[in-house]
Amino acid sequence: QYRNLLVELDCPSAAGKVVVPNAPFKMYGTPADINVCPPAPGQHNEEIYGKLLGRTKADLEALKAEGAI
């Protein structure tokens, strides 16, 4: 607690507060506080399946319908 290694964030995607790790080291004059919530499950599906794996929106909809994602 003294070193503030874990911080509590209010994240709408998690429907409340979550505890996340803060910056692992502290340096004088260069604050590195964490203030961004972790991504929600599936938040980056379109980017990963679409841009990186070349899947179409129809492919994504089919995967969602099957319960795969």
If you ran DSSP here, which 8-state letter would residue 13 be given?
A: G
Q: Is the pLDDT of residue 54 over 90?
A: yes
pLDDT in tens, 5-43: 888 888 877 778 888 888 877 778 877 777 778 888 888
User: 42, 64 in Cβ contact below 8 A?
Assistant: no
Beta strands per DSSP E along 1-69: 6-11, 16-21
Range 40-57 average pLDDT: 89
**pTM for the full model?**
0.53
User: 41, 14 in Cβ contact below 8 A?
Assistant: no
In this prediction, residue 7 carries a pLDDT of: 85
